Structure 1
Amino acid sequence: MNKTLELNHLADIAKAIGHPHRLALLQQLFIREYSVEELSELTELSITNTSQHLQHLKKVGLVLTRRQGKNIIYRIGDGPIANILAELRNFLSFQNNEIKTLIYNGIHYPKQLEGVSIAELIEKLEDGAYLLDVRSKEDYQAGHIPGAVNIPCEELNAHLAELPKSTQIITYCGGRFCVLSINAVALLKQYGFEVCRVPDGFPGWQAAGLSISS
């Protein structure tokens, strides 16, 4: 690709995601497919506004569509889109130390930020680690990492007896925009479990092109 054309295309992608409403729409589409009406309700935008933002995202391939009867259904586009948003988040954290502030003020356990990469997760699963999905039941059913057990974070305290004390537990949630796995690690450590988290979560698994269960 011509260098100028490549830079122009990169600029188009940057421009497409350069709006908080579009980032909010992308976050929802990482969970599952939605119609315009559903996205409008979830993001509290008008249907017209939602549709306009989705068209900008579709133009550069960040979202894709399919027809279901009379409705157009939107889903996240192909490729490492989760990585793009994760790196934006990393840069924001570098600038304002946001994550450390969140941990210090809300959880007070800085080590809960520590986690494993997707590659390390695969190795740990091969060694028999227990994988815990702490997202909602709806998000889990829409798609999850194969072999993961689902206990929503808010229900975790009631299911502690079901978790192994002799096996490492690895938690994950909706990625770097989500704090559910941080909260889960904090809770489980209080009860003596050996536990860590996957900061990139389910979006990171998707971005790596690995198989997904539903």
Structure 2
Amino acid sequence: MGDRAAKTTLLDAFARVGKALGSGKRLELLDLLAQGERTVEALARAADLGLTTTSAHLQTLRQANLVATRREGTKIHYRLAGADVAALLALLRVVARDRLPDVEAARAAYLGPDTEQVTRAELLRRVEAADVVVIDVRPREEYDAGHIPGALSIPVEDLADRLADIPVDQDVVAYCRGAFCVMAHDAVRLLSSRGRRARRLADGMLEWRLADLPVATAPGPQG
């Protein structure tokens, strides 16, 4: 039989990851970092947190080796420590959705009425056939860090003013960060209200990357 103390030490080591994930705000920071590298200041703005609070959450994630850093001058840039962390984030959300009854109610309250969707496989077919316009409705810095090849960058807050950038005679597919991202839903609702044929990608950039599908990037610094 194995040594009980050694087994406890091993299980406690596993639990360190669980403890690091035990905060909605830390999960939000991981979700943001799944879109691309960011500075502490950029993360604080995106998550609507103070700098001190953001730094404390990031230190907890770093102590569990879920995030990594690099320094550029006086700024520290954070990124996910690896694709396995992104996969863990995605799986955690799926398990919570499937196992906790209140998650569905919270999801519906946040995302609002459901909107029509397309799968990744269908989107790939339609992109190859060139019969659809794909729009990335995330903030521009996330688009620059990685996007579906050929997608137009139209942040959701700019969409109403940029309808002229979208051909009126083609179907539109909007996507954002992931399966629980509200921006694509908002974009589809807006486009539909303006008479456009619009659907959303069933998930988003997190799942697209995890499926090892092509990702394009824009030149220039991030964060």
TM-score w.r.t. length of structure 2: 0.74
Could you say what secondary structure the match of 1:199 adopts? strand
Could you say what secondary structure the match of 2:118 adopts? coil
After TM superposition, the structure 1 stretch with the greater mean CA deviation from structure 2, 32-41 or 185-194, is 32-41
2:136 aligns with 133
1:20 aligns with 24
2:107 aligns with 99
Distance 2:57 2:160 in 1: 39
Offset at residue 45 of structure 1 (A): 3.8
The answer (yes or no) to whether the contact 1:36–1:72 under 8 Å persists in 2 is yes
Offset at residue 182 of structure 1 (A): 0.3
Please say if 1:44 is aligned against 2:49.
Answer: yes
After TM superposition, the structure 1 stretch with the greater mean CA deviation from structure 2, 176-185 or 115-124, is 115-124
Query: Alignment partner for residue 74 of structure 1, among 73, 78, 87?
Result: 78
Q: Which amino acid aligns with 1:99?
A: R
**Number of residue equivalences:** 205
Could you say what secondary structure the match of 1:32 adopts? coil
Distance 2:163 2:51 in 1: 42
User: 1:146-171: CA deviations, max 9, x gaps?
Assistant: 21111222222233233234332110
The answer (yes or no) to whether the contact 1:134–1:150 under 8 Å persists in 2 is yes
1:202 aligns with 205
User: 1:5-31: CA deviations, max 9, x gaps?
Assistant: 986665332222112232232133234
Q: Which amino acid aligns with 1:198?
A: L
In structure 2, the CA distance between the partners of 1:136 and 1:55, relative to structure 1 (3 Å rule), is closer
- What fraction of aligned residue pairs are identical, expressed as a percent? 38
Give the root-mean-square deviation of aligned CA atoms: 3.0
Q: Which amino acid aligns with 2:31?
A: Q
In structure 2, the CA distance between the partners of 1:187 and 1:38, relative to structure 1 (3 Å rule), is closer
Gaps of 5+ in 1: none
2:151 aligns with 148
The answer (yes or no) to whether the contact 1:81–1:207 under 8 Å persists in 2 is no
In structure 2, the CA distance between the partners of 1:195 and 1:10, relative to structure 1 (3 Å rule), is farther
Distance 2:169 2:43 in 1: 42
